[in-house]
Structure formats: C-alpha cells, structure tokens
Chains A and B, each alone.
Chain A
Amino acid sequence: MKKNKSSFNLNNTGISLLMVLLIVLCFAIFAILSLKTAQDDYQSSKAFAERKASYYDACNSSEEALQLLASGDSKAAESKINEIDKKANFSYDNNVASWSIKFSGTQQLEVQASINSGDATISKWQTSTIGE
C-alpha cells in the first residue's frame, strides 16, 4: 500500500520559529556587544582627554609661576600654584623653587627650578605616580 508522503507531523511545528529566535538572539548579542565596546572606548577616550587637559593646566600654572618668580613675586607664584592644588608643597629657598601639582588621581607634576634675575633654569619637570 502506498504511504501518504505529505503526512503532517505535529513535532515539526515551531522549528522555524526556534531557528528565527536563535538567529535573532545571535544578532542581539553581537549588537549589544558592539555598542558596549563603543561606549567603553568613548568613555576611556573622554577620560584620557580630561587627564591631558588636567596635565596641561598643571603645566600652564607652573609656567605662570616661573614667570612670576622670575619677576620677583614669589607670593603670587605660590598663590598661583595653590590655586590649582592646595597641597602642592611649594617651597622657595636660596633662589630654588620647587612644587608638585597633583593633576589626576594618581599622578603629579614635579617641578624644580633655579631663579635668576629675569629668567629661570628648570632642573626638574617630571610626571610621577603618587606614592612612588
């Protein structure tokens, strides 16, 4: 006797739906991962940009302080340094000035310079990690 080939089997119901769900799940995982990676990259770039800006703020304040020291105004230089970091350890003895400005959570700019009339000779201009 000939068998009916197109006999319907209820067990096959839903396989296509399952396949679609699987494909969609893969798409969703890839999309979420790429978005998360892009967000993390952007956040890290922003943090880097902010750290750079803080570093150059510290450098600018140090340059202004050197200018003030060279013009003989050590008080103004100290207040300029303290404007950006109150714990800068500013010292000025025997025409040698030094300070360290904290510009990020773990980094500081250390400056040491000897001041002559009208100019300054920088002996130390170094970024270091706090605690080292």
Chain B
Amino acid sequence: MHRITRQNKSSIFLLELIFSILIFIVSAAICVQLCANARVLSNETAKLDTAVTDCSSIAELVYSSDSESALVASLEDNFDKVMVNDKSGAQEVRIINDDITIVCEIESANQMLTAHISAYEEDSPESTKTSSKSSAASSKGSSNDASNGKPADKSSKPIYELNAKHFTGAKA
C-alpha cells in the first residue's frame, strides 16, 4: 500500500495553497471589476437624476415667466452660478450646479417664450483652462473662481435635453 511520506504531505498542502491563491486572485479581479461597473453606473444615475431635476426646475420657471428678462431674473434668483450671454435675438444662460452644466437657450417670438435646455457634464480642469477665455457678457455669483469651471463643450453629447414653450398670452 502507498504510504504518505512527510515530503508528499508538504507538496499536497503547497499545491492546495497555490490553487486557493489562484482562485482567489481570479475571483477577486472579477468581483472588483463588477464593483467598479456598479460604481460607474451609480455615478451616471446620480448625474442623470441631477440633470433631470435641474432641467425640469428650469422648465417650470419657463412656464411661470412672462418674458425673457423675467425668466433670466428668476434663473438668477434660483441658481447660484449663472452666466448670461446675450446673442442676437436670443439669450444663452449657463448654469453650473454640482457636476452638471446646464445650457439654456431662450427665445421669444409671437408671445411664445421658448427655452431649449441641455444638461452637460462639467468640463475637466484641463479643458476649463482653455475654455475660460471665452467671454460671458454678465455673470452672477463667483464666476471668476477657477473651480467653477466653464460649461462643457456644446459639441459633446448632453446628458439630458428638454424643450419648454410658454404662451405668454395665457393666464391661469
């Protein structure tokens, strides 16, 4: 009959230990990847939630405003970091809230106040430096603060978009 020697015992134990460590390494790598995916997904969810909440807040302000200037004033009242850009025939308002930048293009014609609201992820500090030279006609809050960042490049895909139209001739 085959006898288990002391040397055999050690090699069996070593083999088992190596096998255990290998299994642990492979499984831990898979589990860490799953957890990382979950974290990325939760961050995206948080950003989407913030974007939806902010965009709908702005849409409600559009429905309660009678003119472009009233809308801009109520946006400045309701948000901390607001930058207003006057364009020909339209106004562009940029709002920075948490990690989200909201671009709101406001137009008014034939008693119809129209706002196109888009939420973008805020720029990284690198791109902030390059884009900070672009001018804003007027601003409220601490817009000179470098940590504010500038809104994301409009060519990037928005997280969320909403259109809000309000007939200013309507009364409740």
How far is A124 from B172 in the complex, measured between Cα atoms in Å?
8
Query: Is the beta-carbon distance between A56 and B56 smaller than 8 angstroms?
Result: yes
List CB contacts (< 8 Å) of A94-132 with chain B. Answer: 113, 118-122, 125
Query: Is the beta-carbon distance between A121 and B31 smaller than 8 angstroms?
Result: no
Is B79 part of the contact surface with A, judged by Cβ < 8 Å? no
Q: In the assembled complex, which residues on chain B have CB atoms less than 8 Å from the CB atom of A13?
A: 12-13, 16
Is B163 part of the contact surface with A, judged by Cβ < 8 Å? yes
Chain B contact residue count (CB 8 A cutoff): 49
Q: In the assembled complex, which residues on chain A have CB atoms less than 8 Å from the CB atom of B34?
A: 31-32, 34-35
Known contacts A35-B34, A42-B45, A122-B171; decide if A17 and B112 are in contact (CB<8 Å): no
With A24-B23, A49-B51, A64-B165 given, name 13 new contacts (CB 8 A). Answer: A16-B17, A23-B24, A24-B27, A31-B31, A31-B32, A31-B35, A63-B165, A67-B110, A119-B169, A120-B170, A120-B171, A121-B172, A122-B171
Enumerate the 8 nearest inter-chain pairs by beta-carbon distance, A residue then B residue, closest first: A31-B34, A119-B169, A38-B41, A24-B27, A38-B38, A31-B31, A20-B20, A8-B9
Report which B residues bind A (CB closer than 8 A). 4, 6, 9, 12-13, 16-17, 19-21, 23-24, 27-28, 30-32, 34-35, 37-39, 41-42, 44-45, 48-49, 51-52, 55-56, 59, 63, 110-112, 160-167, 169-172
